[in-house]
Structure 1
Amino acid sequence: MTHPAETFRALHVKGDPFILANVWDLGTAKMMQAMGAKALATSSAAHAFTLGKPDGVTRDEALSHAADILSVAKVPVQGDFENGFGDDPDTCAETVRLAAEIGLAGICIEDIALPDNTAYDCDIAIERIKAAASAAKALPNDFVLTARADGILRGQYDTDEAIARLQGFEAAGADCLYAPIPPDMEALAKIVSATNAPVNALVAGPYTAQTVSDFGKIGVARISLGSSLARIAHRVMYDAATEMFETGSFNALGHSIGGKIDRLLT
């Protein structure tokens, strides 16, 4: 029987991207896979929303949440595991081992010293990924490690620095590379051409104007949604609640598709 991580790895083809659907509870997991998602992922932000906070969860919370998703998943699942839940390389390695133990096909680890907004020094960031990759390679089954250069998203460094970090992460053993929201598609294409490992693109902000085909043309291998699905669900709730509490109208509630969703969950 093929291990989920092997299935997950095989999905990563440069120029033929698949959509990695980020979900945040059992219902959204079942819904997305019923609608055709080939793989699922947690989202630290979307998960945090369910706990009543804007972002940031503990490792125990992330593992428990991922285990819940895995309980209904019929496709591979990746964990959004923030910065590996610790600064030192050994913590990142332990996080990989714990993630594999519960059955995740892979995780992503970013280069931000959370809860601060500061990026780790490049050498330290690479050492963290090296330790995580080493732990992944020592596992009895396959495991896909994604290394993230999040400083580009947070305004900590530019595209050239992101590329230098991603090249370092690749040399350290990362299986997939990810720099969320570079300035434009040209910058994203530059990232793809400067690296050999599969590259993940985040669909958020201006990138929602692109299509799967657009990403494929520049060589992207994977498209993730981050918290975008959760945020748009919140937008619908916000608009409906605004209508209710400000005008007394319930018109928005008349557009539900309950029956269709119920069928997806069975």
Structure 2
Amino acid sequence: MTDIGAAFRALHKPGDPFILANAWDAGSARMLAALGAQAIGTSSAAHAFTLGRPDMGHVSRDEALAHAQTLVSAVNIPVSGDFENGFGEAPDTCAETVRLAAETGLAGISIEDTALPADAPYDRDLATDRIRAAVSAARALPRDFILCARADGVMNGHYDMPEAIARIQAFEQAGADCVYIPLPPTFDDIATICQSVNVPVNVLVAGKFTSHLRLQYAKAGVARLSLGSALARATHRVIHDAAKKMFTDGDFSGLMPSISGSEIDALLK
């Protein structure tokens, strides 16, 4: 049987980034895989949207695990879980989350340093201990499992880039397989991040970072490009704009252009 974790690890090549295509249900996962995705990611925000909830700490671990298992069952490529803060503050909780995630068939997960449901970060030492415990649990598994450690305080406005880099360096020392500083201030910061560690770096392609090409990320040394909830938000933009036209002006033009049902059917088979 193929080691899905090992297959996922092999995709992480600094300077040759693959796209971790974040899906939100079985259908979107299958479409993305049929269109060329090499790996699928869950998205905590996009999943929350499907449940009619906001982002940031509003989905339980059991719900996230069940959702992940749905996506794993839908495709034949690696799936990585966006598991927020590991669903608890204690390092032991993060370790348990890794073990449960592996049981669903996930190839890896990411764990952030945010003390959800607030957006403030954990103390750096505690954040590092949490990653160390998660890594220890991953290494004890009977197969490979990729642990990505996130430093979210720049994105959330709670610490600066030097602190973020100090954190990912500590996460690397704790054994993280991949590190991640979502939405740094500038594109040039990405190369600095990649040069600051010796493990693969994930970059979130959202907002202003969508204006850069994969080749530019490759030159910066990136190994993995995730979409987060960006693709889900793009679909919600279509719903928003079409619905406003319909309900405000009785104008249905926002429903076009669309993709045909037969095209969708072919991708889902």
Tell me the distance in 2 between the aligned counterparts of 1:51 and 1:80.
16
- Deviation of residue 16 (structure 1)? 0.2
Give the unaligned 5+ runs of structure 2.
none
Give the unaligned 5+ runs of structure 1.
none
Tell me the distance in 1 between the aligned counterparts of 2:257 and 2:217.
32
Paired residues, what number? 266
> Secondary structure at the residue paired with 2:235?
helix
Aligned to 1:85: 87
- Deviation of residue 254 (structure 1)? 3.3
Written as runs of structure 1 = structure 2, the 5 A alignment for 1:12-161 is 12-55=12-55, 56-161=58-163
Tell me the distance in 1 between the aligned counterparts of 2:190 and 2:165.
10
Tell me the distance in 1 between the aligned counterparts of 2:82 and 2:152.
13
Report the AA paired with residue 143 of structure 1.
Answer: F
- Residue by residue over 1:116-172, the C-alpha shift from the partner in whole angstroms, topping out at 9 and shown as x without a partner, is 111000000000000000000000110000000011110111111110000000000
Aligned to 1:197: 199
- Whether 1:175 aligns to 2:159 is no
Report the AA paired with residue 32 of structure 1.
Answer: L
| Equivalent of 2:239 in 219, 222, 237 | 237
Tell me the distance in 2 between the aligned counterparts of 1:173 and 1:165.
13
- Whether 1:265 aligns to 2:268 is yes
Report the AA paired with residue 148 of structure 1.
Answer: R
Cα RMSD (Å): 0.7
Tell me the distance in 2 between the aligned counterparts of 1:254 and 1:76.
33
Report the AA paired with residue 47 of structure 1.
Answer: H
Report the AA paired with residue 147 of structure 2.
Answer: L
Q: State the percentage of identical aligned residues.
A: 61
- Whether 1:210 aligns to 2:212 is yes
TM-score by length of 2: 0.98
Tell me the distance in 1 between the aligned counterparts of 2:69 and 2:93.
20
Runs of 4+ in 1 over 2 A off after TM superposition: none
Tell me the distance in 1 between the aligned counterparts of 2:30 and 2:144.
24
Tell me the distance in 2 between the aligned counterparts of 1:117 and 1:17.
29
- Residue by residue over 1:195-217, the C-alpha shift from the partner in whole angstroms, topping out at 9 and shown as x without a partner, is 00000000111101011001000
- Deviation of residue 2 (structure 1)? 2.4
> Secondary structure at the residue paired with 1:217?
helix
Report the AA paired with residue 253 of structure 1.
Answer: L
